[in-house]
Chain A
Amino acid sequence: MKGGGLRAYALIYLLFLYAPILLLPIFAFNSGTVIAFPLKGFTTDWFVQMAGNAAMRRALTNSLIIATSSAILATCLGIFAARATTRFSFPGKGPITGLIMLPLVMPEIIISMSLLVVLLGLGVKLNLLTVIMGHTLLCMPYAVVILTTAFNSLDRSLEEAAYDLGESKWNAFRLVILPLVMPGIISSLLMSFTISLDEFIIAFFLAGNEPTLPTFIYSQLRFPKQIPPIMALGTVLVLMSVLLLTVAEYFRRRGVAKTGGTDSGGFL
């Protein structure tokens, strides 16, 4: 077979990538209280224990509120940016897009620290809203990337046909463009939701006393007794992420197929 050695290497590499995630469920169902081999027996106690934890439920509620709000805000802002950059040319396009995409490469510690300094300086109380603010900024570039692909594959003549048939600008956007980029929008919502759900640094510094799932996990890691239930929570979290991503990928591909483009693959 062509590239046999490379294929073997790629498979080993995939195993390396998945090793931590594969270990997670193994220990989540292991009845031993210490995370080590050999395994003891099968149990679902850790999941039950996690589900009954009031602090975890509060963190979960907070995380869902933050992730939903950030996903919607980031996607809305992303639609503006993607539409503007794919359809129009305007002065300062480079620097403007540069600033919008900057959070992609900016270390999160800098983003959260600078935002924290300003918020504390202004006397703003840290709560869920401040986390949503940070997460929206962080998710926006990803939304822009996904939506730009969606808007890019639009055939401009469809829009012009709508104008010629007497539709207003807004109606043409609502009736022609929006349905065509809808898969991209859904994909962007799901991706942003996943990013926000898993984000730790910004939530850690900007949430005040409110826990989110990742900061809750972080606070529990110090206690060895808490680790097996955390493994169970981690398993659920990873499963949720994988599920959301698979659906996002499905919509992204459908979007590509809908507008008749060829699939170039990948999110980034």
Chain B
Amino acid sequence: MAAGNRSEAAQGLTLVAPPFAYALLVLGAPLLTLLAYSFFKDGYLTIIYEFTLENYLAVWSDPIFHKIMLRSLGVAALVTVVTVALAFPVAYFLSFVVSSERKPLWLFLITIPFWTSYLIRVFLWKVILGYNGVVNSGLKSLGIIEQPLTFILYNVNSMVMTLAHAYAPFAILPIFIALEKIDRSLLEAGRDLGENRMMTFWRVTLPLAMPGVIAASLIVFIPTIGDYVTPALIGGGKIPMIANMIQAQMLDIDNRPLGSAIAVTAMIIVAALSLLFLFVNRRFLKVRQ
């Protein structure tokens, strides 16, 4: 066992080196480049390698950026609330009602739609909700409505619906895991001490499930902010979110320093909000330990 003499740490580090190097090279270095670019000047078709804060000043004072950033945050927040609220009862059902041998089947059924083409699912929501879509043409042929419903057309509502659908399994799984970890005898204790079912849920189950709810919220919120396809397809390109703005700035307008500054600013805002969210909910996270 010649290799066995090496220390455990050295062996572990050697093993983890290839995937770590790959992540550094393909993710870490590009992210740092993005950060560096955001401090450079944009020349026509070139980058002038001179330190400047101009890009950030331009981004922060740009009313269009404010509007799009606020819209992205608003849509993402709404999607998070809707997704988590809709998902919680399902996670509760899975954890408390479904028998343990049926659980893997239910989990599998819930995750399948998530793994099928995101683009196709988004597009199908457009088909379902569109002007001549499934909902409108169906209701019309049944004689329920005369004119197509407009509140589901190419607007923020339809974007929220599409995104809530896309991220549903992301919300169910963390809540389910948190519920599974709850010691069932705690609930019995609550009932024995005279609480009714409702109060036991409110004072025992829900606080213990909060780490899952918090994880679910962040897992839905962060990718939703950066969603590109839904605003492009469902919003008809008329309601851009921050990802569309970054893409337009980087490629269509070809101002990479400014595009980088938008991306970095958006990431900082999202990170700050996530940390704030964790801080506000810190008492629930402490319960776990």
Contact = CB atoms under 8 A, between A and B. Distances in A.
Interface of A: 2-3, 6-7, 9-10, 13-14, 16-21, 23-24, 27, 34-38, 77-78, 80-81, 83-85, 87-93, 96, 99-100, 102-103, 105-111, 113-118, 121, 133-134, 136-137, 140, 144, 163, 169, 191, 194-195, 197-198, 200-201, 205, 214, 217-218, 221, 227, 234, 237-238, 241-242, 245, 249, 253, 263, 265-268
Interface of B: 1, 3-4, 8-13, 15-20, 22-24, 26-31, 33-34, 37, 47, 86, 89-90, 92-94, 96-97, 103-104, 106-113, 115-121, 123-125, 127-128, 132-134, 137-138, 141, 165, 168-169, 173, 176, 218-219, 222-223, 225-229, 233, 243, 246-247, 250-251, 256, 259-260, 263, 267
Contacts of B94: 10
5 contacts: A21-B121, A37-B137, A133-B26, A195-B115, A221-B123
Nearest to A9: B89
Contacts of B222: 105, 107
Contact of A17 (B16, B29, B104, B168): B168
Contact of A238 (B16, B103, B117, B128): B117
B225 A6 contact: no
Contacts of A34: 132
Contact of A113 (B11, B23, B165, B263): B263
Contacts of B29: 118
Given A88-B8, A105-B223, A200-B119, 8 more contacts: A20-B165, A109-B246, A113-B247, A198-B115, A218-B119, A234-B123, A265-B107, A266-B107
Q: Is the interface of A mostly helix, strand, loop or mixed?
A: helix
Given A7-B97, A109-B243, A121-B33, A24 B124 contact: yes
A103 B228 CA distance: 16
Nearest to A253: B104
Nearest to B20: A96
B250 A21 contact: no
Given A117-B33, A137-B23, A253-B104, A87 B165 contact: no
Contact of A14 (B16, B20, B33, B110): B110
Residue of B120, B127, B243 with most partner-chain A CB within 10 A = B120
Contacts of B92: 6
